[in-house]
Amino acid sequence: NAGVMQNPRHLVRRRGQEARLRCSPMKGHSHVYWYRQLPEEGLKFMVYLQKENIIDESGMPKERFSAEFPKEGPSILRIQQVVRGDSAAYFCASSPPTNQGTLQYFGPGTRLTVL
Amino acid sequence: AQRVTQPEKLLSVFKGAPVELKCNYSYSGSPELFWYVQYSRQRLQLLLRHISRESIKGFTADLNKGETSFHLKKPFAQEEDSAMYYCALRSGNTGKLIFGQGTTLQVKP
């Protein structure tokens, strides 16, 4: 089991561009969580998804951010019209369907830099 | 409000000294708490959780509901313990985690 995969590991965008971050959960895991870590801060929850469903998006900014977890393929966190304040490390975690997120396995993160 | 506080950004000790990384929480309900660790150039990984009452790599943590604390302790620090440590609280039924700001533990030879 390769573990949670995220790509790209580093992403540079100019203000106004779009950023797409991908997360492939561990095999057999159908739950995905996205967290954001701003400089000098802890990780903050953004969104929780199951296959084809958004379960909890209480941590998502109201505008420009969206997430999906299709039936096939990775989960995608999409940031439209990026601004400098979006520069951060974005982590995803996956968990199996049986334990309601008690055990979350983290990916290596994507570091987004907005110029 | 649900919150996790780690008051120390950096804790520096000598090898063999005892270590205590502090964590306090605010949660209305029965809390479920975790410690995660991130070694240099590695991903975040679960160290221990209070439900298991286990000791991992010599670390223990006891939930103190009266003081709303979940401090991480180790009697004799090793250099390989140097890492970033995050305390986290599981919130609600969806399992989302609320993290503290993290404490960097530096164990000097």
Tens digit of each residue's pLDDT (9 = 90 or more) over B9-65: 999 999 999 999 999 999 988 889 999 999 998 999 999 988 777 778 999 998 998
- Answer whether A65 touches B (CB < 8 Å): no
pLDDT score of A9: 96
Instruction: Pick the closest to residue B94 from A63, A23, A36, A33 (CA basis).
Output: A33
Dihedral class, residue B74 (left if φ above 0, else alpha if ψ from -120 to 50, else beta)? beta
Residue B85: closest CA among chain A residues belongs to which residue?
A42
Enumerate the residues of chain B whose CB falls inside 8 A of the CB of residue A42.
4, 6, 86, 99-102
Measure the CA–CA gap between B7 and A52, rounded to whole angstroms: 39
Residue A26 has pLDDT above 80, yes or no: yes
- Interval A60-73 mean pLDDT: 94
Q: Please count the other Cβ atoms lying within 10 Å of the Cβ belonging to residue B48.
A: 20
- Interval A35-52 mean pLDDT: 92
pLDDT score of A101: 61
Q: Hey, is A85 helix, strand or coil?
A: helix
Residue A41: closest CA among chain B residues belongs to which residue?
B101
Strand partners, A36: A44, A90
Residue A108: closest CA among chain B residues belongs to which residue?
B43
Q: In this complex, which of B6, B91, B95 lies closest to A102 when CB atoms are compared?
A: B95
- Interval A48-71 mean pLDDT: 94
Residue B88 has pLDDT above 90, yes or no: yes
Strand partners, A67: A77
Per-residue pLDDT band for B87 (boundaries 50, 70, 90) equals: very high
pLDDT score of A1: 61
Q: Measured between CA atoms, how close is B36 to chain A, in angstroms? A: 10
Per-residue pLDDT band for A100 (boundaries 50, 70, 90) equals: low
- Contact between B25 and B70 under an 8 Å Cβ cutoff? The reply is yes
Residue A2 has pLDDT above 90, yes or no: no
pLDDT score of B9: 94
Instruction: Pick the closest to residue B97 from B42, B57, B46, B56 (CA basis).
Output: B46
- Answer whether B86 touches A (CB < 8 Å): yes
HEC string for chain B: CCEEECCCCEEEEECCCCEEECCEEECCCCCEEEEEEECCCCCCEEEEECCCCCCECCEEECCECCCCECCEEECCCCHHHCEEEEEEEEECCCCEEEECCCEEEEEEC
Mark yes or no for CB contact B97/A104 under 8 Å: yes
Q: Measured between CA atoms, how close is A42 to chain B, in angstroms? A: 4
Residue A70 has pLDDT above 70, yes or no: yes
- Contact between B47 and B39 under an 8 Å Cβ cutoff? The reply is no
